[in-house]
Amino acid sequence: DQQVKQNSPSLSVQEGRISILNCDYTNSMFDYFLWYKKYPAEGPTFLISISSIKDKNEDGRFTVFLNKSAKHLSLHIVPSQPGDSAVYFCAASVNAGGTSYGKLTFGQGTILTVHP
């Protein structure tokens, strides 16, 4: 039972354009969502997060949008750069007002390629 799904295995974007990565979840208990980025032969690194009390969180070129009714979140990267080429994982947790101990449920990942 895949509780967090990233239905696009890959995405190819031109440098300077917008990259939009999507993620869907099924568990309505999830209330905290994160995006991690992974380069080959390295572990994932935290990118950005959002709590379910918000519908948008922005950090520089990265913005995460949350649509709770649709159980959908997306990561926007504007403008995309070749160095953004990596695997992006969506993750979710049951934070429950700060009681989370960090058990993350991850999606399968989307390979983003940004062409110069």
Q: Which residues bind other proteins (CB under 8 A)?
A: 4, 6, 32, 34, 36, 41-46, 49, 89, 91, 93, 95, 100-109
Q: How far is CA 100 from CA 24, 55, 56, 59, 94, in A?
A: 21, 20, 21, 23, 6
Q: Which residues, listed in sequence order, are joined to residue 49 by a DSSP beta bridge? A: 34
User: Rounded to whole angstroms, how far apart are CA atoms 42 and 35?
Assistant: 16
Rounded least distance, CB 15 to other proteins, Å: 27
Complex with other proteins: residue 53 or 103, whichever CB lies closer: 103
Q: How far is the CB of 91 from other proteins (least distance, A)?
A: 8
Cβ-contact 39, 47 below 8 angstroms = no
Q: How far is the CB of 26 from other proteins (least distance, A)?
A: 14
Task: State which residue, 80 or 95, has the beta carbon closest to other proteins.
Answer: 95
